[in-house]
Structure 1
């Protein structure tokens, strides 16, 4: 952004707290949580000791704003920019229907009269991520992983009506692409072109990357089964409260899609802990295509946001460098 980012303070959030809890509640402390890139996340401690979390979907809070392609907001694209109250609400409803926990919605405000953006107040599900718990208390983390595996089993078995973002499909929308695998292939091909324009190694390997994509896609046999997936399910996107039950966060990207896309991501992010989430009925040809395509995506996306003013730009550059090397060295 060309102008300085100005984040919310307690005074600006006071009217939202009043709307949710009444005039007798005040904000004692407000803290913006770090590491988010698509929305602002604030933990509020109220004067009675209660803690809640505020989500703010505002271009000022969205580091991707201004660095994404022009069609990044296309609702018919399952991989379109996952941001906004509508997506959050639709995802919350679908997860609740399946008995999978996400932060309970306490207030949804689209009016822009109390704050100049879409805002939600949700329960404070705890400040410990599953990633932290696994490192600090392995036995407790393992128990939460077992519950997470059960939740994922219900999600992945869900009989989805079509593939795409939950909010879009549940409202009657349908993707223009023919299949999940075609969506992944077309996206990866476009990202190869984009990355080739940003890195000379990708430009030199462009032909080989494209050939690999087509070769892997040719092995994938069409099928109709899809499930409900989080889309970016790493241990940092799972909170664990005192009861040990995992709570999924950053759920706006929830979509109906091939469950192999989820498993490729969780396998990378959970590393040695992935065995507790593994299942033996995955399509290995899809896994190979999606693994390769995800390497490419994890070059293109980080290189885009590295052009923003995100405070972790170098971390994103390093991430892109790692996955570019993985893509160029990929062997099925």
Structure 2
């Protein structure tokens, strides 16, 4: 598809509503990294900045795919999910960007829009790479926030908006949802990679074996869903600010920590995680490896601008998936 992105002319009225009419727009910069929504930094002539989130078809690079019907991590994008998740995290004592305006009525753009505080352009990921000592305090504060999330319990799993509307399906164990999700990712990936096609049965058997060791559970906690150090901004005062949280869900803490271990690497122990079930964690860790094959291969088939990065990510996880089933 031919993609067109916002210009300063598109957001003048929006900026006037949020920031007043006594300043003019100096720049509108589309920030890198978004694949489901557009993220823009709006700079005014007094150097004030805010961040715009735009949920529009032209901002979403992901092509459709078959999904598990009761998988709560699918379609984790949109202004409604953003608003509900923002409120829940704030209530749980988690620092998120201050919400300045939410427009779901198309008053300014032909899309849902949120305007939030600009918490700064420095990500925890960059700080961990460039100055690990300076990252220690925000990393510890993030660990505190995660423990608040992972001790905020619910009796039902699912997206918060679905639970509030009583539309969250509750028909089977969460671990079975993850198994079906993993099998779907395996099938889609095997159609694109001959190595996975040849190993399909061995990988599927490995997933079933991991599932067989998991004991039942019916208590769930708040999880971000895909929290990495690139989804945490660090303010000039060193405060960690969580972003990209539309996928906030009541689910198993092990799903979150499988991802955290992957993304934070050697920095992960500094998060001081809550107690976890090692068997459930291992199933979820392997399922996420398969997800990180399928997703990158799928988006690499589109016009996503950093296609090679996605292919490299898929390759890294193909090797990991095969290593687990290679004698």
Q: Distance in 2 between matches of 1:181 and 1:70?
A: 19
Match of 1:69 among 65, 71, 83: 65
| Cα distance, 1:61 vs structure 2 | 0.6
Match of 2:166 among 154, 165, 172: 172
Q: Is the 8 A contact 2:155 2:218 kept in 1?
A: no
Q: Distance in 2 between matches of 1:80 and 1:176?
A: 16
Q: Is the 8 A contact 1:230 1:254 kept in 2?
A: yes
- Paired residue total: 326
Match of 2:20 among 22, 26, 44: 22
| Cα distance, 1:193 vs structure 2 | 1.3
1:120 aligns with 2:118: no
Q: Distance in 2 between matches of 1:28 and 1:232?
A: 33
Q: Is the 8 A contact 1:17 1:25 kept in 2?
A: no
Instruction: Provide Cα deviations, 1:147-172, integer angstroms capped at 9, x if missing partner.
Output: 00000000000012311112222332
What RMSD in Å do the two structures reach over aligned CA positions? 1.6
5+ residue gaps, structure 2, are none
Partner residue, 1:39: 37
Aligned ranges for residues 1-332 of structure 1 at < 5 Å? 1=1, 4-64=2-62, 67-69=63-65, 76-279=70-273, 281-330=275-324
Could you tell which deviates more after superposition, 150-159 or 160-169? 160-169
Q: Is the 8 A contact 2:84 2:160 kept in 1?
A: yes
Q: Secondary structure at the match of 2:5?
A: coil
Q: Given the superposition, is the C-alpha separation of residues 250 and 15 from structure 1 closer, same or farther in structure 2, using an over 3 Å criterion?
A: same
5+ residue gaps, structure 1, are none
Could you tell which deviates more after superposition, 47-56 or 166-175? 166-175
| Cα distance, 1:20 vs structure 2 | 1.7
Q: Is the 8 A contact 1:144 1:240 kept in 2?
A: yes
Query: Structure 2-normalised TM-score?
Result: 0.96
| Cα distance, 1:281 vs structure 2 | 1.8
Instruction: Provide Cα deviations, 1:83-127, integer angstroms capped at 9, x if missing partner.
Output: 110010011000000110111110101122310100010000011
| Cα distance, 1:180 vs structure 2 | 1.5
| Cα distance, 1:296 vs structure 2 | 0.5
